[in-house]
Amino acid sequence: MSKPIIATASLAGCFGCHMSILDIDDRILQLIELVEFNKSPIDDIKTFTKQCDIGIIEGGCCNSENVHVLKDFRKNCKILISLGECAIMGGLPAMRNGIPVKECIEEAYLDGPTVGENKERILPNDEELPIILDKVYPLHEIVKIDYYLPGCPPRADLIWKAVVALATGDELNIPYELVKFD
Amino acid sequence: MKEKIISIIESYGRTSGRLMDILLSVQAEFRCVSEEAVSLIASELGVSEADVNQTKTFYHFFTTKPVGKYAVYMNNSVTSVMKGMYDVVDEFEKQAGIKFGQTTPDGLLSLNYTACIGMSDQEPAALINNVVFTELTRDKVRKIYSDMRDGKPVEAMFNEFGDGNNANQLVKTMVKNNIRRRGNVTLGEYEVGKGLTKALSMSSQEVIDEIKNSNLRGRGGAGFPTGLKWQFCSKETGDKYVMCNADEGEPGTFKDRVLLTERAHMIFEGMAVAGYAIGAKEGVLYLRHEYKYLKAFMESVLAELRNKNILGNNILGKGFNFDIRVQFGAGAYVCGEESALIESSEGKRGEPRNRPPFPVQRGYNAKPTVINNVETFCSVVKIIENGSAWYRGMGTEESAGTKLLSISGDCKMPGVYEIEWGMTIADMLQMVGAEDVQAVQVAGPSGICLPPSQFNRKIAIEDLPTGGSMIVIGANRDLIKDVVLNFMEFFEDESCGSCVTCRSFNMILRKQVKKVVDGRGIKSDLDNMLAWGEIMRKTSRCGLGQTASNPVSTTIKNFLDLYNARVKDAEYQSDFDMHKAIEESCEVVGRPANIHE
């Protein structure tokens, strides 16, 4: 059997989950023996070049482009995994969900203490830019998600065990402390 | 304002333990508890504003902004909706020119919803300035509104009163008792003082033994053996309390209202018997705010009992001292849970406590406390009077005696029935004149929704335990939309928010039921609802969270076909709508809401 193909993406996240993927340390050498990477920031392949087996997504959807990428992943991956708090529940970005979009945008571009000079009070509205959504959505509200790996970020060992289990078909054995943080 | 508030605080002895009463009086006086009032109360009581605010914000009937000169609280419980609440709501809104949740600009009238007010047998019902209006219709609403315009006091808006003590000078309410069947215990013959006289001729241990032998079990619904509870408490030392739980808030229950109206003496007498048995000198009857109209009457009964020396010092010359005060709630279902009721009586948020310690060990004011239901105390009086053997002669082996049922919904004779435990649901339905029944909601929303195939089951603690609420649901009702959704909205509102799962899952389950009702559900939604309900049951501290998923879980179990007819056989379905999701932000930044997929 050929090696399973993995794709990854970070949407409205902080790339912390991807950092956690890299935290598997030297096991990355075993990983490239086990799987092949396609579209991913890890190898910098920008678009899908073939059908993939496993899609791993960090971050929720805060804008139209996130939704576009997510749907693209669903189309191109047999199995889709929500990686980390933001993908699963919206996470920190979702703290804006209780605040009207207008206030969020004005705080970011006009009134916030870190806003520099914006005398013309310009709000970014170029048609090329992704459009901010009314709220931050977790992935499973937009497409079907097959598995969830919790954590902020999920521990490297958890990601490793999950990917190995999917790649080899072996049973996934997760110790309590890998998914519980209390 | 300042002087008035200070005098209110003085009248309750300047103690934060009476914060509920202080807030209730301030709300009644000023139609709100404003931020200024909160600061003043806090500084006068020597507590923080946060302490006052946390109590204030917990209860439905405390408001920061003034309610209208006429404050309408419309009951939106399931039976009210069944009996035409939406017509009444529509007429109120039309007349007043405002929506529910609003106050007219001139401050004349405010319209709000409230949970079950204990009038399920005479719906639709509403409270207007704490006065009960039952069996409302469009015509009645028009008349009420015109009276409001004329500035009539609410008490003068009607002149026909209900039966029995409802017509008492101190009550004068249109509420009807609707007593349809009297048994031999709570609604049977009763002579004031007989039970207590006999109790005082016995030793306190003999009283406890008599109650134990009677097999009396708590009538609030949980069915804990009353004698055992008293025995535990009697073994504790120091000051103790007896509390009566008159906070019946389970939608569909109203039997305690009838006892409070017709058997007030008996309730207080039962509390005195309990006080004698466990060695308590003080009792508190916690009465739900919805029954505020009974305040003057209850207090007159207490005064009468003191005059007869059934309460007070050296009761009936036997050297026993015991007195009772009435504590009002302010609109919170969870306060029917005994430890939440204690917290509330102490002037705090009605959040259930962790157990142990149990109330019999550390209850009101951290002292050992016996809390029993209204009906339990009434039963106690008759058990002492006639003996435990007499009592055990009624009912079933495991459920001795009689039970009051509050029966409402789709039946010809809704009202209060005193039955012996052991009656089948089928017999009950015949008794109340119910035909073409789709389901019976046994024990209210927190109980179970029973299908016709199980109507041969018995009303008994060992089979179908109930605090007394029985809602008959006719074949013409949309069970999921009219009943289940209504119940989940109720639980979402009434969760105290202390346990994460109860706070979250009640909302999530309500949304999920709505999704099914709207035809957007899929099969796996049903599995999710069952699984999440189970998590909530296992991880909530009190009975509310432990039972709040029952409307969903018992109907999925017993009426699966109704759900299957509404859900799609799809693996996944998204409710996400890109165009809706980008509309607002495009408008804010000024760009066309176009998506290039």
pLDDT tens sequence across B33-65: 999 999 999 999 999 999 999 999 999 999 999
Name the interface residues of A facing B (CB cutoff 8 Å): 64, 67-68, 100-102, 105-106, 123-127, 131-135, 137, 141-144
Q: Average the pLDDT over A130-140 and give the result.
A: 97
Say what the pLDDT of residue A162 is: 95
Q: Quick one: how far is CA A174 from the chain centroid?
A: 21
**Banded pLDDT at B238 (limits 50, 70, 90):** very high
> Which CATH number fits the domain that encloses residue B412?
3.10.20.600
Query: Are the beta carbons of B576 and A141 separated by less than 8 Å?
Result: yes
**Banded pLDDT at A1 (limits 50, 70, 90):** low
Residue B117 in contact with residue B127, Cβ under 8 Å? Answer: yes
Question: How near does any CA of chain A get to the CA of B532, in Å?
Answer: 16
Do B39 and B86 fall into the same domain?
no
Tens digit of pLDDT for each residue in A70-84? 999 999 999 999 999
Residue type, B409: G
Name the interface residues of B facing A (CB cutoff 8 Å): 571-572, 574-576, 578, 580-586, 588-595, 597
Say what the pLDDT of residue A143 is: 98
CA of B241: how far to CAs of B225, B238, B272, B351, B416, in Å? Answer: 18, 10, 11, 20, 30
Chain B residues touching residue A127 (CB < 8 angstroms) = 591-592, 594
Element of type H or E holding A83: strand A77-83
Query: Are the beta carbons of B574 and A141 separated by less than 8 Å?
Result: yes
Domain-embedded: residue B397: no
Question: How near does any CA of chain A get to the CA of B589, in Å?
Answer: 5
Domain-embedded: residue B167: no
Optimal mutation site among B582, B586, B596, interface A, most CBs of chain A within 10 A: B582
Do B279 and B207 fall into the same domain?
yes
Question: How near does any CA of chain A get to the CA of B581, in Å?
Answer: 5
Q: What is the ipTM of this complex?
A: 0.92
Specify the range with the lowest mean pLDDT, choosing from A113-122, A146-155, A157-166: A113-122
Could you give the percent of chain A with pLDDT greater than 90? Answer: 88
Token output for B467: 């605090």
Chain A residues touching residue B583 (CB < 8 angstroms) = 134
Give me the residue from B575, B580, B589 closest to A125, CB to CB. Answer: B589
Q: Average the pLDDT over B271-299 and give the result.
A: 97
Say what the pLDDT of residue A117 is: 86
Give me the residue from A106, A124, A137 closest to B576, CB to CB. Answer: A137
Residue B230 in contact with residue B211, Cβ under 8 Å? Answer: yes
Residue spans of the domains in chain A: they are 5-95+135-179
Q: Average the pLDDT over B128-143 and give the result.
A: 97
Say what the pLDDT of residue A88 is: 98
Q: Quick one: how far is CA B199 from the chain centroid?
A: 31
Do B468 and B515 fall into the same domain?
no
Say what the pLDDT of residue B277 is: 98
The answer to whether residue B597 scores a pLDDT higher than 70 is no
Say what the pLDDT of residue B144 is: 97
Say what the pLDDT of residue B484 is: 98
Do B119 and B218 fall into the same domain?
no
Question: How near does any CA of chain B get to the CA of A107, in Å?
Answer: 12
Give me the residue from A68, A100, A144 closest to B571, CB to CB. Answer: A144
Question: How near does any CA of chain A get to the CA of B576, in Å?
Answer: 6
**Banded pLDDT at B182 (limits 50, 70, 90):** very high
Do B413 and B362 fall into the same domain?
no
Tens digit of pLDDT for each residue in A26-48? 999 999 999 999 999 999 999 99
Token output for A107: 């705080």
Say what the pLDDT of residue B179 is: 98
Do B260 and B341 fall into the same domain?
yes
Q: What is the mean pLDDT of chain B?
A: 96
Say what the pLDDT of residue B595 is: 80
The answer to whether residue B451 scores a pLDDT higher than 60 is yes
Burial annotation A13-45 (CB, 10 A radius, 16+ → b, else e) = bbebbbebbebbeeeeeebeebbebbbbeeeee
Grouping H, G, I as helix, E, B as strand and the rest as coil, residue A181 is: coil
Q: What is the largest CA-CA distance in chain B?
A: 91
DSSP assignment letter at A139: G
Do B239 and B380 fall into the same domain?
yes
Chain B residues touching residue A100 (CB < 8 angstroms) = 584
Optimal mutation site among B584, B595, B596, interface A, most CBs of chain A within 10 A: B584
**Banded pLDDT at A2 (limits 50, 70, 90):** confident
CA distance B229 to B579: 61
Residue type, B535: I
**Banded pLDDT at B596 (limits 50, 70, 90):** low
Do B101 and B212 fall into the same domain?
no
Query: Are the beta carbons of B582 and A137 separated by less than 8 Å?
Result: no
Domain-embedded: residue B262: yes
Do B412 and B539 fall into the same domain?
no
Count CA atoms within 13 Å of residue B199 on its CB side: 33
Give me the residue from B578, B584, B589 closest to A64, CB to CB. Answer: B578
Do B208 and B271 fall into the same domain?
yes
Say what the pLDDT of residue A180 is: 81
Domain-embedded: residue B170: no
Do B368 and B483 fall into the same domain?
no
The answer to whether residue B1 scores a pLDDT higher than 80 is yes
Say what the pLDDT of residue B221 is: 82
Q: Average the pLDDT over B110-123 and give the result.
A: 97
**Banded pLDDT at A116 (limits 50, 70, 90):** confident
Tens digit of pLDDT for each residue in B300-354? 999 999 999 999 999 999 999 999 999 999 999 999 999 999 999 999 999 999 9
CA of B307: how far to CAs of B264, B297, B301, B304, in Å? Answer: 15, 15, 10, 5
Say what the pLDDT of residue A182 is: 67
CATH no. of A5-95+135-179: 3.40.50.700
Residue of A nearest to B579 (CA): A133
Neighbours of B583 (CB within 10 A): 16
Chain B residues touching residue A124 (CB < 8 angstroms) = 589
Query: Are the beta carbons of A67 and B594 separated by less than 8 Å?
Result: no
B132 forms bridges with which residues in the sheet? B127
Chain A residues touching residue B586 (CB < 8 angstroms) = 131
CA distance B126 to B110: 12
Give me the residue from A134, A141, A142 closest to B584, CB to CB. Answer: A134
> Which CATH number fits the domain that encloses residue B538?
1.20.1440.230
Tens digit of pLDDT for each residue in B82-105? 999 999 999 999 999 999 999 999
The answer to whether residue A16 scores a pLDDT higher than 70 is yes
CA of A169: how far to CAs of A1, A25, A34, B157, B373, in Å? Answer: 12, 23, 12, 76, 58
> Which CATH number fits the domain that encloses residue B79?
3.40.30.10
Query: Are the beta carbons of A127 and B585 separated by less than 8 Å?
Result: no
Domain-embedded: residue B172: no
A6 forms bridges with which residues in the sheet? A37, A54
Structural domain containing residue B86: 70-159
Say what the pLDDT of residue B342 is: 97
Say what the pLDDT of residue B389 is: 97
> Which CATH number fits the domain that encloses residue B226?
3.40.50.11540
Q: Average the pLDDT over B470-480 and give the result.
A: 97
Burial of B105 (0-12, 13-18, 19+ CB in 10 A): exposed
Could you give the percent of chain B with pLDDT greater than 70? Answer: 100
Count CA atoms within 13 Å of residue A91 on its CB side: 26
Domain-embedded: residue B338: yes
Question: How many domains, chain B?
Answer: 5
Q: Average the pLDDT over A130-136 and give the result.
A: 97
Chain B residues touching residue A131 (CB < 8 angstroms) = 582, 585-586, 591, 593, 595
Examine the fold and report which residue of B474, B505, B533 is the final residue of a domain before the chain moves on: B474
